Amino acid sequence: MDELPIGRRVAYWRGRRKMSQQVFADRLGKSKSWVDKVERGVRRLDKFSVVYEIADVLQVDVQLLLGKDVERRPETQNCIDQVEVEEIRAALERYDQMSAFFQAVPHSPPLAEMHKAVSHAWLTYQHAKYGVLARMLPKLLRDAQAADSAYATGADAKDAAHLLGQVYQIASSALRKVGEHELSWLAADRSIAVSQRAGDQLLAGLASFRVGSALLALGRVRPALEVNVNIANRLAPVHEPAHRGERLSVYGMLLLNGAMAAARIGDSATVRDLLCGAEQASLELGGDFNHYWTSFGPTNVQLHRCAAAVELGDGRAAVDTHEKIDVVGFNALLPERRAHHFLDIARGYTQIGNIEKASEMLLEGDRLAPSEIRCRPLAHEVLSDVLRRTRGTPPAPIAELAEQMGVGV
């Protein structure tokens, strides 16, 4: 996009932000005609002050509007910035698989190397190293797509498809964390199709879980609830000893995700039923495991009880559940899960007016996994709420965190 005129870049980012020309003009204090002329190149943008104002309204780095490389500040190194999002988007927009239909793929990484790279990417995500993950994802996507094409007709076809399905899921999860919900949905949807080719019902079930998460983030709550519950019903564990732990884990996560969707629409009865079903699955599983990268087990069910209570607006129930969570089980979870929970409980404490404890939870999450707090739009909202409701000068640690996150005190 660097070669485009600045007006076209403005139009592109306005479209990405889903703003009409009229809404964009109103926020700038300009006329719709002025915006139209700028985007068509009829009117020049020759004042830096106006360019900076446009960048502010569009919430992009001004260097992107100017067609220059964005200078990455040290404090953003562990987050996914706009340049990296666009690189991931470009990788998702590739359709090399169609080219492979007509001619052989010239190069593909060995599948053994791909297995190692995909496992490393999962662990990077579960340790909430989102900046590191963002920098590896574009190449990983391209390599996985190339492998899927290269091995499409051989004995390794299902293995290659399985790897690509996982990479799409990793990308979907990471993109959702930073608010790129449409892209997250696209990646998750791709994973469903690829997972079916891989012949793995559990991978396809997890892809449905990612689709449900993306739909929920997009505000499409009822479709999110339906996809999670429908696929969970199809994966309900039967009396089959083979892969029972993996099936229980994927089934349980679908129920937990369904519970979060039900909580979003205030359906407490469905929340209770789905959480009970997930709890039963976790007890049958017999502990906390990371089958299929789910981190599913009794502890994760308790974390979701807290999160669902927060979504229902019952901060007191969330805090009460939080205080009863098994400490040993909680500390054994990977950093992303624990920091995510601290963010949920910070929201719960704000609901009951305990701003001091909410601050403590944000700081604890930041200590454990900084990217989970500093990179997520939701965390910015919670911190803004905490600052707004803090009487007098905020405590130094919270003020410092706000400054580092760019949240106004």
- Same domain for 53 and 146, yes or no, is no
CA atoms within 13 A on the CB side of 338: 20
191 and 231, same structural domain? no
Alpha-carbon distance of 134 to 88, in angstroms, equals 8
CA neighbor of 382 nearest in space, from 353, 405, 406, 350: 350
Domain match, 193 and 178 both: yes
- From the number of C-beta atoms within 10 Å of its C-beta (0-12, 13-18, 19+), residue 241 rates as exposed
> Mind listing the pLDDT tens digit of every residue in the chain (409 residues)?
445 688 888 998 888 777 899 989 988 889 999 999 999 988 988 787 788 788 878 867 677 777 765 554 444 447 887 778 888 988 888 765 545 454 555 577 899 999 999 999 999 999 999 989 998 999 999 999 999 988 888 899 999 999 999 999 999 999 999 889 999 999 999 999 999 999 999 999 999 999 999 999 999 999 999 999 999 999 987 666 668 999 999 999 999 999 999 999 999 999 999 999 999 999 999 999 999 999 999 999 999 999 999 999 999 999 999 999 999 999 999 999 999 999 999 999 999 999 999 999 999 999 999 999 999 999 999 999 999 999 989 999 999 999 988 887 6
- Res 52: pLDDT: 79
Does some domain include residue 307?
A: yes
102 and 196 in a single domain? The answer is yes
Instruction: Indicate the number of domains in the chain.
Output: 4
In terms of domains, do 79 and 214 share one? yes
Domain-located, residue 329: no
What's the maximum distance between 2 C-alpha atoms anywhere in the chain? 71
| Last residue in a domain, options 193, 219, 245 | 219
Residue 70 lies in a domain: no
Q: Are 159 and 98 contained in the same domain?
A: yes
Q: Are residues 199 and 272 in the same domain?
A: no
Q: What range defines the domain where residue 395 resides? A: 334-409
Round to whole Å and give the CA distance between 370 and 128: 8
pTM for the whole structure: 0.80
Q: Please name the residue that has the structure tokens 């990455």.
A: 72
User: Per the domain annotation, does 288 fall within a domain?
Assistant: yes
pLDDT at 13: 82
Q: Which of 159, 185, 219 is the last residue of a domain?
A: 219
Residues 229 and 107 in one domain: no
**Statement to judge: residues 407 and 317 lie in one domain:** no
CA dihedral 223, 229, 232, 237 (to 10 degrees): -170
| Cα–Cα distance for residue pair 82/196, rounded to 1 Å | 32
- Domain contains 328: no
Residue 111 covered by a domain: yes
**Listed residues 295, 323, 351: the one ending a domain:** 323
Residues 212, 86 share a domain: yes
The answer to whether residue 157 is domain-embedded is yes
Q: Quick one: CA dihedral 359, 362, 365, 370, positive or negative?
A: negative
Comparing CA positions, the residue from 135, 240, 220, 118 lying closest to residue 169 is 118
Same-domain check for residues 143 and 34: no
Taking the C-alpha atoms of residue 287 and residue 4, their distance in angstroms, rounded to an integer, is 55
- Phi and psi torsions of 139, nearest 5°: -65, -40
Q: Kindly report the CATH number assigned to the domain that includes residue 54.
A: 1.10.260.40
Can you tell me the distance from the alpha carbon of 186 to that of 85, in angstroms, rounded to the nearest whole number?
13
pLDDT at 97: 55
- Cβ burial, residue 104 (10 Å; 0-12/13-18/19+): exposed
- 361 and 315 housed in the same domain: no
DSSP one-letter string for 279-313: HHHHHHHTS---GGG---SHHHHHHHHHHHHHHTT
Please indicate, yes or no, if residue 317 is contained in any of the structural domains: yes
Contacts for 130 with CB less than 8 Å, ≥ 6 apart: 78, 79, 80, 174, 177, 178, 371, 375
